Amino acid sequence: MMFRVHVRVTPRPGLLDPQGTAVEHALHALGFAGVGGVRVGRAVDFALEAADEAAANADATRMCERLLANPVTETFTVAVES
């Protein structure tokens, strides 16, 4: 079966995220005064052939652990849709 996988990688909580801080300052400058806690991460979307949704999920998780995220500095979530 073909699945669409959406991986979301974000800086670990507590880790300084200078990109997030810069974006937050820019949003404040634009008048969005209520914004706080901005974190900038990355999204990786791809198609994946797998036996079933559980297999697709397991595959994508292994990809995150090996390449797409660095466990030292990042956390990730995987969402699979058919």
Residues that bind other proteins (CB under 8 A): 15-16, 18-19, 21-22, 42, 67-68, 70, 72-73
Closest distance between other proteins and the C-beta of residue 80, in Å?
21
Amino acid at 15: L
Residues facing 2 on adjacent strands = 49
CA atoms of 32 and 53, how far apart (whole Å): 40
Closest distance between other proteins and the C-beta of residue 41, in Å?
12
Q: Which two tokens stand for residue 72?
A: 């030292």
Q: Which is nearer to other proteins, 54 or 62 (CB)?
A: 62
